[in-house]
Each structure stands twice: as structure tokens, then as C-alpha cells.
Amino acid sequence: MRANPKDVNTGVYYIDGDVASGYGALAAGCKFVAGYPITPSTEAAEAFARIAPKAGAMFIQMEDELGSIAAVVGASWAGVKSMTITSGPGYSLMMETIGFGAMLETPFVLLNIQRGGPSTGVPTKTGQADMMQSRWGSHGDYELIALSPDSPQELFDYTIKAFNLAERYRCPVMIMSDECVGHMTEKVVIPPADEIEIEPRRFYAGPKDKYLPFKPDEDLIPKMAKAGDGYNLYISGLTHDERGYPAENGGCQSVYTKRLVDKIRLNKDKIIELKEEGLEDAEVVVISYGISSRVAVRGIEMAREEGIRVGSLRLVTVWPFPDERIAELAKKVKAFVVPEINYGQIAFEVERCSHGMANVILVPHGGAGVHHPDDIYNAIEYARRLEGRVEGVIEQKTRLERLVFEERIKLSE
């Protein structure tokens, strides 16, 4: 389906990522955003609040993040595409209801503008340390989708994609952005509405009395109905059968809840999007996502100037993780270099999928800033020199670490 022209502010803009995501949400047909002020995601909520009324959309500021995400799940069941926007601490508060959303197979989008953590951390500066949380943060087993944009343009594009995936697979979709991309101002092109592909909600169309809210189609995804259409829906966070009725026995669990996991795992190939560059003859591959991939570009250039054959694999979808592609590459390359703004999260996934066939070098960064390209270059250079297989993830010592712990520079603002 094409986007509704009324929702699309076609044009060329010079805006930051937060605002771009607001435009993206509108273009995707989002009509409801609930949020709670939190630095550095507030601008995205403010942008949406400003532009929403004209597009017939609504913004409500709830009393906290627990309330925000609950309202979003509710709005989605009212048939409205909806989204919430938050950052670290708010994201942690949303964990219970993310599981609820997954259990109810509710399409919605969550925009997380990551900041330095843990806890209150550094609210005004960047981080990428919620990556594993986005996969594992709620209790119980479930699968969901997470995207990681690296520019304001991508925040626009992938917000639309997030809504499409949410509708297609009936699951929460996370946009794992960060403060840098959120506050980065760049050119953003909003195409005309007829060039924007929108996934409409798949509503049930059969006879009313035959409707089973959790009876899956062949692709394991059930059709939806919405509140107020006379279906007498019963939707519960308890383990439920096809009717949506609680069926708290092991059999029900392994049939119905397992499907929540399978519907993503088995459709993985359709969901995963990667951006690859220079992989054909690469001896070292930099695996990156989000803002780190922009810094990696410079490190890669530096290495290429030195004649090192470096490729780049950028994770656009971080979850589900591209296990097979990485295993394939591991057989061909010497090492993976993983720069991320945390002390090792996705690097462990890369280790897992490389099955001991390639070295994995982590370039960590604690947050509140981005890598120095030298660190990435040094890691690439080291990776090329390193002979043999080293077990486990190798943690690269960074410039920042030397500065802080060896040169003991004075800490002040």
C-alpha cells in the first residue's frame, strides 16, 4: 500500500534525527504517540506533538514510561498505529509491557534514543549499551525486531520500516537509535507519498463468529481485529489458546507461546537487512551498527590507505541477529572487528556466530562519546597481524582507557 499523502511532508529538510523520526512515524501512518519526557529523546516527542494535530494524529504525555507504553499497546488494539519514544531509564521501565506487547502480538514501535548508562548515567550524551536489553530485557521467552539507524535520513526511513515490520509480524519493533544520531542535523529527503511503501494492518475479514484472535495463518502470524468492531475480543497476557482464553498448561505453552518465538526465527531471512561493502576479498571485516558505523568508516579508510583489505558489515536489523551470514564470513576472513559504545554486547554475538573460525576483536567505548577512528584503525591493523585463532573476544585497549587509567587525566567538565 502507498502512504497517505496527507501524512507525508514531502520535501528536502535540514533537520535532526529526532524530528526526522517524527516525520517518519507520520508518513508510516502513525496516529498515536504516548511518551514521557526524558533526555535525549524529548525532541522526538516534541516534534511529534507539534506536527501531529495537522495530520489528525495525537500525542499524549503520560505520567511515566510504564503508562506511556501501556497506552501505546491499548491504542494499537484500537486499530491505530502507535509508537512510544524513550531513552535508557525509561526503556528499563517499559520492560514489563514490552513482554506484554509481545505476548498479545501487538504491533507497535518503540524508539529508544540511547544514552550513557547504566542507571542515570550521562543523560545528555550517547551510548549503545541497551542492545542486549532490547533482545532480552523482559522476562520469559519472546522474539522481536530491532533496527539501528545511523543518520537522520535513516531515522526517517527506518521508522517507516519499523512500522511496516511491526504490522507484518505483529510484534513490537525497536528502533535502537542513540543520542548522536538523534541530535545530528543533516539533510533529510522525504519522498512523495506514492514512493513510500506502507504495510497495512492485516485485519480479519471472515465471518464474525468464526474469528479466533490467535489462530495463525501459514506464516505463523494471526490476523487482527480491533476493539469496537463487535468481535467480543478477549485478549490476555496470560498464556492463551487460539481464542485468546487463558490456558495455563504446558501443552498450550509449547504450542502457542513457542509460536511467538518461531514466527520471527522462521521468517528471519525476510526480516534481516544488512549493508555490506568490500567483503569480496576482505581479510578483516568491521561489524558495526548505528553511530559507530559512521566512525568506523574513517577507521576503514585509514586501514585501506595502508593496503589492508577491510570490509564492512553494517547491521541495520540487529535483532534477529544474522547468524548465518556471520558464520559464512567467518570461514573466509581472518578476523572481525566490532566497535560498539559499550563494553561488549554484539561482539559476544559475533563470537557466538563465528564458531571459532575467525578472531573477534572488540573496540569498546563506555559511552558519552564516540570512538576515535584511530582505535578502530588500530584494531584492524592488529587483527591483520594476529596469527592463529584466539579463543574468546579480544578487548582492544582504547585511547580513552589509556588516558583515564594510565595517564590519569583530571576528571572535570
Partner 1 sequence: MRRLMRADPKGVLTGVHSLNGNQACVEGALAAGCRFLAAYPIVPAIEAWEWFLERAKDVGATFIQMEDEISALAAVLGASWTGKRSMTITSGPGFSLMMEHLGLAVMLETPCVIVDVQRVGPSIGTPDRPAQGDMMQARWGSHGDYEIIALSPSSPQEMFDFTIKAFNLSERYRVPVMVMADREVAHRKEEVVIPPPSEIMVEPRRYYRGAKSRYLPFKRDRDFVPPMVDIGDGYRFHVTGLTHDDRGYPIMTEECQEYNVHPLVRKIRRYVDEIVQVQEADTEDAEVVIISYGAPSRAALKAMGEARRSGVKVGSLKLVTVWPFPDKRVAELAKKVKAFVVPEMNYGQMVLEVERCSHGRANVVFVPYEEKGFEDDLLSAIRKVCQEKKVREGIIQYHG
Partner 2 sequence: MTVLKAVKSRVKHPMDNLLRMDRIPHIWCPGCGIGIAVSAFAAALDKAKIDLDKVAIVSGIGCTGRVAGYVKIDSFHTTHGRAIAFATGIKLGNPEIKVVVFSGDGDLISIGGNHFIHAARRNMDMLVICVNNFIYAMTGGQVAPTTPLKAYATTSPFGCVEPPFNIPYIADSSGAVYVARWTALHVRRLTNSLVEALNKRGFSVVEVISPCAMYYSRINRLGDGLDMMKFYHDNAEIKHGEDTKNLDIGFQTKIIVGKFVDRERPSYLESYNRWLSEMKDGTP
Q: How many residues bind to partner 2 according to rule CB under 8 A?
A: 19
Among partner 2, partner 1, none, what binds residue 357 when CB lies within 5 to 8 Å by partner kind? Answer: partner 1
Site for partner 1 in 324-343 (CB under 8 A): 324, 327, 342-343
Among partner 2, partner 1, none, what binds residue 36 when CB lies within 5 to 8 Å by partner kind? Answer: partner 2
How far is 144 from 194, CA to CA, in rounded Å?
29
CA-based nearest residue to 376, from 314, 320, 292: 292
Looking at the Cβ atoms of 1 and 409, the one nearer to partner 1 is 409
SS3 of 384-412: HHCCCCCCCEEECCCHHHHHHHHCCCCCC
Q: Under a CB-based contact definition with an 8 Å cutoff, are residues 149 and 171 in contact? A: no
Residue 391 interacts with partner 1 (CB under 8 A): yes or no: yes
Among partner 2, partner 1, none, what binds residue 46 when CB lies within 5 to 8 Å by partner kind? Answer: partner 2
Main-chain phi, psi angles of 34, to 5 degrees: -120, 135
CB neighbour class for 195 (10 Å; exposed up to 12, middle 13-18, buried from 19): exposed
Site map (CB under 8 A) of partner 2, residues 79-108, x = contact: ----------x-------------------
Collapsing DSSP states into helix, strand and coil, what is residue 354?
A: helix
Q: Which amino acid is at 190?
A: I
CA-based nearest residue to 21, from 139, 199, 149: 149
Site for partner 1 in 99-128 (CB under 8 A): 99-100, 102-104, 114, 116-125, 127
Q: Please, how many CA atoms are within 13 Å of residue 129, restricted to the half-sphere of its CB?
A: 24
Site for partner 2 in 31-70 (CB under 8 A): 35-39, 42, 45-46, 49-50, 53, 59, 61, 63-65
Residue 120 interacts with partner 2 (CB under 8 A): yes or no: yes
- Contact pick of 12, 14, 63, 139 for partner 1 (by CB under 8 A): 139
Task: Provide the minimum distance between the beta carbon of 222 and partner 1 in the complex, in angstroms, as a whole number.
Answer: 16
Site for partner 1 in 72-101 (CB under 8 A): 88-89, 91-93, 95-96, 99-100
Among partner 1, partner 2, none, what binds residue 53 when CB lies within 5 to 8 Å by partner kind? Answer: partner 2
Collapsing DSSP states into helix, strand and coil, what is residue 144?
A: coil
Residue 205 interacts with partner 1 (CB under 8 A): yes or no: no
Q: Please, how many CA atoms are within 13 Å of residue 331, restricted to the half-sphere of its CB?
A: 5
Q: Which residues of this protein are in contact with partner 2, per CB under 8 A?
A: 35-39, 42, 45-46, 49-50, 53, 59, 61, 63-65, 89, 119-120
